[in-house]
Amino acid sequence: MKIGFIGLGIMGKPMAKNLLKAGYDLTVNDLVKEAVDEVVAAGAKSAGKEEIGKTCDLVMTMVPDGPQVKEIVLGEKGLINYMRRGTTFIDMSSINPITSREIAAALAEKGVEMLDAPVSGGEPKAIDGTLSFMVGGRKEVFDRFKPVLSAMGSSVVLCGDVGAGNTTKLANQIIVALNIAACSEAFMLAKMAGVDPLLVFEAIRGGLAGSTVMEAKVPMMLEGNFKPGFKIDLHIKDLNNALECGHSVGAPLPLTSVVQDFLYNLRKDGRGQEMKYVLYRN
């Protein structure tokens, strides 16, 4: 099976390398030449979108948002013009599920199957191949390509039809964002009240307040480490998609709106490319 992989950013580059480690025949494409060169050095080939569309049995994308996915697939020189009937497209980007369904419908007219398969886990889990995949699409297609996704992740779950993957990812991002905001607020309270935040962390991490988010982010927060594994700008994008989806289906998301305001303020302060701890500062 020949796989095309478009999008070699913070997440995409290590994901592509894990496909190579699993022995897949991989052709890659990205706007950043250095990223392409690095993955080619690891064993991939490089090609333009047209060649990828014409020659690959499976094409995968990992790009920032829906407009980029639509341009890659449905644009004037998009994959839809080149992919063969019977091939498959998997979008691993985190986008609005309405956009996923729109792209899937257009590809279906050309005889191309689609899965939406956004991920959770950030850069560390992209590197070690333990991402969580939330997948939407037909079960037959999911079963066929689950081994490919499993080469990059430790959890691969079919959540429903196309769009269900991104709906699940939006739910995930709401929980992560609100959890980080709560940790930021709580540990700033401890600090300003004169209690060592590290001791607070040790005291509460094993109780009901403990979480994967707390374990991953609070130590970095206390160290003042703002190196982005997932940038504020990207979480703003995800929460925008969540709020738009919520409006379209009539789901109220008041807490999401509050955290989104915090993130916009951080972006205004020039912190859009940092990790987001919302309120906590050393």
DSSP alpha helix (H) spans, 193-231: 197-204, 212-223
Q: CA distances (Å), 189 to each of 139, 194, 209, 258, 279, in order?
A: 48, 9, 15, 19, 10
- Whether the CA torsion 270, 274, 280, 282 is positive or negative: it is negative
Distance of alpha carbon 172 from alpha carbon 282, whole angstroms: 28
The answer to whether 263 touches 235, Cβ cutoff 8 Å, is yes
Q: Is-catalytic flag, 146?
A: no
Distance CA 21, CA 89 (A): 21
Nearest to 202 by CA among 188, 189, 218, 217: 218
| Count of CB atoms situated within 10 Å of the CB of 184 | 21
The single residue of 13, 125, 146, 169 carrying the catalytic annotation is 169
CA separation for the pair 89, 60 (Å, rounded): 6
Report whether 161 contacts 136 (CB < 8 A): yes
What torsion, rounded to 10 degrees, do the Cα atoms 189, 193, 194, 197 define? -20
Question: Which sequence positions are flagged as catalytic?
Answer: 169
